[in-house]
Amino acid sequence: MTYYIIDVKMDEFEEKLLKMTKPEVDKLKHESMLAQEIIKAKEKSVLSLWWISLPLYVVAMFLMKALFDPEGNFFLYLYEFVLSSSYKVVILFYVLPLVMIWINAVSVRRVYFLAGGPPVMPFLRFVWFNILMILLSLFLLVLTF
């Protein structure tokens, strides 16, 4: 006994069902979003490096001055700089590192959530430079306190 479903024999219908498979999506949307976020995070970390290099240059300058001056003291030079130009210190050593920490932390968070909470080591491979920028910014914050 053969059944007809909308002018198709049941046997043919079953064969068509067996031949059909699930549609395959070769590129998922979240993968492209993740790739874009990783690229944005790397761009932000390079920009952060440029901005963080300004106060790091000041720190390196005082460190070199302390090393080559026999009676020099790094913290004394830094303290004199803090007293002589307070607005520059606030911008270079407080505002700039806080902004860089915030920007890089948001980038790391976006990549982490788009990646679906990956294990630590593969995740660090993508965002190690952002984490380095956060650590350098924290170093600058701690240095001036």
Please state, in angstroms and rounded to a whole number, the distance separating the CA atoms of residues 40 and 43: 5
Output the pTM of the full model. 0.69
> Where does residue 133 rank: exposed (0-12), middle (13-18), buried (19+ CB within 10 A)?
buried
Note whether 41 and 127 are within 8 A (CB): yes
Q: What is the pLDDT of residue 10?
A: 64
Q: What is the pLDDT along the chain (145 residues), one digit of tens a residue?
A: 555 555 556 667 677 767 776 666 556 666 777 777 777 777 777 788 888 888 999 899 999 999 998 888 888 998 888 888 888 888 888 899 999 999 989 888 888 887 777 787 878 888 888 899 899 999 988 887 7
Q: What are phi and psi of 28, to 5 degrees?
A: -80, 150
Structural domain spans, the chain: 28-143
Give the 3-state secondary structure of residue 133. Answer: helix
Q: What is the pLDDT of residue 25?
A: 56
Would you say the C-alpha torsion 135, 136, 139, 144 has a positive or negative sign?
A: negative
